[in-house]
Structure 1
Amino acid sequence: MSSTLRSRRRRDSVSSSEVPASRKNPASRDLVVDFIRVSCMFAVVAVHLLMMEISVDQSGIGISNPLTSLSWFAQGTWFGQVMPLFFVVGGFASLTSWRSLRRRGGDAGDYLRNRVLRLVRPAVALYAFLTIALWSATAAGVPSGLLAVIAAGAGVQLWFLAAYLICQAMVPTMAKLHEAAPYRTVAALAACAVVVDVLRLGLERNPWGFDSNPIGLLNMVFVWGLLQQLGFFYADGFFDRFARWKLVVAAAGCYLVMIPLTYGGPYPVDMLTSQNPPMFPLILVGLAHTLLVKAMYPQLLRCVQLGWLQKVMFLVGSRAMTIYLWHLPLIIAVFGIALVLRVPFPQPASTEWWLSRPVFYVAAWALVLLVSAPLVRLELASTALALGADRPAMWRIATATVLAIIPPFVVMRWALDVGNATWGLVLLVVAVALVTGKVPDRTWKRPVIVERTGTAA
């Protein structure tokens, strides 16, 4: 069998897993998981909108976070911090996709290549836009202080891309560990998360001025990885074994454990503060949310049967990464349009401010859906290899994964600016190029004519 034919058959068998499951077999999907994923997206946009407010006075334009001034905000994050649940449902989808790929003859290289393309291609478009916008604003003479605040705000969400790529790189290995020793794997991840927190918090007040945050970054593997592992348990039906009252009691237990850890312990009460780098209480939040979802599963299942809701779920779910990456820059754009139109900005956190938020929320979503319509093609584009192309070597896929993680990781640590937007774009483009696949040379060559000589009979 020729190498081209083998490559073609391999491509066909592996890339068939990229066809959305809803188109192949709608019954194979857990619509409740899709609903939770989309609900998290609506919650993230709402929280980010509420955490940003523009004020205009004689001193100029100011940007503030009204939510942090609310007395109940920190406690509210125990329920409103949805990113742990996002990693849980991501783990469900990842294990399902990995097992499907394995049944079709794919391996870790195929899985990681698909993930890099799915996640990085939409990010390339965002980085290109941010690079052009920031260079243009700099050239136009926008005050550096204001531009720095705007740029930082436009890149806040990029931490998730770095964290999710790290977790996706772990899926093949963690899936094997889950099959071999699921409970020991979770216990080991939890123990490592606690050790990292102990080291980080222990060194936080050291007399040498040592920055302990880099130690906490190890929990991007242990905390987010453990939450992804809970998604593996969800996919295996682990939580279906328990009665509803047990699920509710267990969720309440998670919150009870958090009280001495936060109010009487070393952890902050605000779960957004615990996000970057992530801390152990986020595991309890994610577990509590997962338990509550399973407790309400029958009601949620009836809810997702509504036709209009399924349309909303498909509209948002099919472009989830595009919406997530672009929603903050577009929220900033909405505020910018309001400034140009001289829309009055009420006092942050006032009654008038709260009453005006639904208008801004609808405007932000309208702009997000409008912009995502053409950009979603990057997210939904096939990851199948070109006809006759060979899959890139594993070292190329691994290198591309590392290169893809670096730009959002840097933004998470040091905020977005014109410099890291520019070289970040370059790294992301290189990452995509590395995993695209090389098409064999098909240059036409003139056939060699061999003259045959012989004697007449």
Structure 2
Amino acid sequence: MQRGKPVHPGASRSTAVPAAPAARLEPGVPREPAVQRDPVVQREPGVQRDPAIDLVRFICLLLVVAAHCMMVSPVLHRDGKVTTENTLMEQSWFTPVVWVLMIVPLFFVLGGVTGLQSWRRLQARGGTGFDFAQLRLLRLVRPAMALLAIMWAGLWLALLSGVDPQVIQLMTTGAAMPLWFLAAYLTAQLSIPLMARLHQRAPLPTLGVLVALIITVDSLRGALPVLAFVNMVFVWCAVQQLGFLMADGFFEHRSRTWLVGAIIVSNVLLGLVTGVAVYPGNMVVNINPPNLCLLLLAISQTATLQLLGKGIRWIASVRWVQASIAVAGRRSMTVYLWHLPLLVGMSGLLLLTDFPKPADGTAEWWWARIPVFFAVVALLLPVVLLLGRLEDRPTAASHARGPSRTAVVTAAVVVFVPVADAAFNGLTLALLGGGAACFALAVLLLGRVPTPVLPPPGPDGAQTRGGKRSTLPAPGLRANLES
């Protein structure tokens, strides 16, 4: 990009497209009046994703699976009682290390990058915020619906076969831990149309207001603990805004000195607020409900990602790496939702066998984490093959009609009711079944993505309807929502 040329604040190098050559007019032919278009709407819908984003998302997913393999450790006592121990949390060295390994904020930053790009592509084709909400809900709710239904059926069969109810409850609680992330991520994603509009008008003031709201809630959570859960909206939306800034090239145009300074300052502030006991030093404790510490981590991680961007893109350009992240990227939600239930189920079944079980925290136990990790990956492969298609965006016959706005809003409420219940009261086997039913109802309300009959393509080759670009692919096509 040449210096000195003005660039729209929402544009980045990856989204710049050359201007079309001016049409030559014949004498006597009247010139058509110029049409003013919003800069966002003019964005090229076919923009390619940054391969670094997909590679980092893939690495983060592997780290989550590996970390949970070091956390889940059920123990069968002589009296038949089963308890679970979080071995990793009991290690003194884990608290400083988790500042580096706590990559949940980075997930939301990456979700902000891809979510804003997806929203702008949909908006450029005439889509609305309700269209975006429908697609996001379907992509996230359908895989979760299958998880809840299968878990509920499997645990009920175990209960009827004589497994102790205490063990059932332990497996229910442990295996459903990923659902809090689903609730938080879905909340942030559904806010994208609104937050993108605010970002377009005033990007930094919008982020500043969110930071002020986070600090206000954190200040009042001691007097009113339930208020802390409000930060599940403010914190993750603020972190998502960092992704918006990254997508628009804000961090790309900062100097290396500025980025290094951002990393140092955010970590110094994090050390100060945890050192004086304003917040716990363990980032796992800070994550649910989230607080200002997660935003400070996100700033450091975003600046680090920008610094390492060139090296990450070089790695992502390797052919076999591209193939791996392409497959994993299309099935990332299935992997995330299922890895912990499979790990808990496998660990529980091993308790019933004579398979050697080293004591927690011993050298043998740590070495055993390696085969445990690969065993979970092996169990994930058939699950991804069988259920991964639930992440695909569904299409419908040409006569189908999309859901009404009321249906989309109702589906969102139906999804959040069991999730909120689980967050406040804990997950039970009954709530597991109720959640599966609510998620199924939401899928029915949302319906399938309509594919209307389109008129012939316009002069630019794009299919139009009522003067607008089509918001959906041609019949029979499937597209991943994040692509």
Q: Counterpart in 2 of 1:392?
A: 403
Moved more, 224-233 or 257-266: 257-266
Counterparts of 1:343 and 1:413 in 2: how far apart (Å)? 37
- 1:285-335 deviation line (CA, Å, top 9, x unaligned): 111111111111111111111112112212211100111111111111222
> Which secondary structure does the structure 1 equivalent of 2:252 belong to?
helix
Task: Select 1:415's aligned residue among 426, 450, 461.
Answer: 426
Counterparts of 1:71 and 1:268 in 2: how far apart (Å)? 14
RMSD (CA atoms): 1.8
Alignment of 1:422-437 (within 5 A): 422-436=433-447
Q: Counterpart in 1 of 2:24?
A: none
> Which secondary structure does the structure 1 equivalent of 2:251 belong to?
helix
**1:99 matches 2:120:** yes
Unaligned 5+ runs, structure 1: 1-20, 204-211, 440-457
Q: Counterpart in 2 of 1:135?
A: 156
Q: Counterpart in 1 of 2:48?
A: 28
> Which secondary structure does the structure 1 equivalent of 2:284 belong to?
coil
Alignment of 1:297-336 (within 5 A): 297-336=309-348
Q: Which amino acid is 1:230 matched to? A: L
Contact kept, 8 Å, 2:178 with 2:336, in 1: the verdict is yes
Counterparts of 2:449 and 2:218 in 1: how far apart (Å)? 44
Report the TM-score when normalising by structure 2. Answer: 0.81
Residues 319, 437 of structure 1: alpha-carbon distance in 2 compared, 3 angstrom cutoff: closer
Alignment of 1:271-350 (within 5 A): 271-350=283-362
> Which secondary structure does the structure 2 equivalent of 1:105 belong to?
coil
Counterparts of 1:343 and 1:62 in 2: how far apart (Å)? 18
Contact kept, 8 Å, 1:396 with 1:435, in 2: the verdict is yes
Q: Which amino acid is 1:416 matched to? A: L
> Which secondary structure does the structure 2 equivalent of 1:241 belong to?
coil
Counterparts of 1:349 and 1:264 in 2: how far apart (Å)? 30
Deviation, structure 1 residue 140 = 2.2
> Which secondary structure does the structure 1 equivalent of 2:288 belong to?
coil
Contact kept, 8 Å, 2:213 with 2:234, in 1: the verdict is yes
Q: Counterpart in 2 of 1:80?
A: 101
- 1:48-96 deviation line (CA, Å, top 9, x unaligned): 1111113344233432111121111122221111111100000101100
Contact kept, 8 Å, 1:115 with 1:168, in 2: the verdict is yes
Contact kept, 8 Å, 1:77 with 1:271, in 2: the verdict is yes
Deviation, structure 1 residue 136 = 1.6
Residues 108, 248 of structure 1: alpha-carbon distance in 2 compared, 3 angstrom cutoff: same
Unaligned 5+ runs, structure 2: 1-43, 451-483
Contact kept, 8 Å, 2:74 with 2:348, in 1: the verdict is no
When you count helix as a share of all residues, which structure comes out higher? Answer: 1
Contact kept, 8 Å, 1:95 with 1:232, in 2: the verdict is yes
Q: Counterpart in 2 of 1:263?
A: 275
Counterparts of 1:255 and 1:146 in 2: how far apart (Å)? 41
Contact kept, 8 Å, 1:155 with 1:411, in 2: the verdict is no
**1:192 matches 2:213:** yes
Q: Counterpart in 1 of 2:6?
A: none
Q: Which amino acid is 1:410 matched to? A: D
Q: Which amino acid is 2:238 matched to? A: L
Counterparts of 1:176 and 1:139 in 2: how far apart (Å)? 52
Report the TM-score when normalising by structure 1. Answer: 0.85
Matched residue count = 406
> Which secondary structure does the structure 2 equivalent of 1:272 belong to?
helix
Counterparts of 1:187 and 1:30 in 2: how far apart (Å)? 27
Q: Which amino acid is 1:398 matched to? A: V
**1:254 matches 2:266:** yes
Contact kept, 8 Å, 1:165 with 1:401, in 2: the verdict is no
Moved more, 246-255 or 402-411: 402-411
Counterparts of 1:415 and 1:112 in 2: how far apart (Å)? 27
Q: Which amino acid is 1:359 matched to? A: P
Q: Counterpart in 2 of 1:237?
A: 249
Counterparts of 1:256 and 1:30 in 2: how far apart (Å)? 30
Task: Select 1:41's aligned residue among 52, 61, 66.
Answer: 61
- 1:77-125 deviation line (CA, Å, top 9, x unaligned): 2111111110000010110000000111111111001111111111111
Deviation, structure 1 residue 437 = 5.6
Greater relative contact order (CA < 8 Å, ≥ 6 in sequence): 1
> Which secondary structure does the structure 1 equivalent of 2:126 belong to?
coil
Deviation, structure 1 residue 138 = 2.2
Q: Which amino acid is 1:178 matched to? A: H
Q: Counterpart in 1 of 2:237?
A: 225
Contact kept, 8 Å, 1:159 with 1:408, in 2: the verdict is yes
Counterparts of 2:166 and 2:351 in 1: how far apart (Å)? 18
Contact kept, 8 Å, 1:326 with 1:368, in 2: the verdict is yes
Alignment of 1:47-126 (within 5 A): 47-60=67-80, 61-126=82-147
Q: Counterpart in 1 of 2:412?
A: 401
Contact kept, 8 Å, 2:395 with 2:449, in 1: the verdict is no
Contact kept, 8 Å, 2:394 with 2:449, in 1: the verdict is no
Counterparts of 2:358 and 2:277 in 1: how far apart (Å)? 38
Counterparts of 1:296 and 1:252 in 2: how far apart (Å)? 16
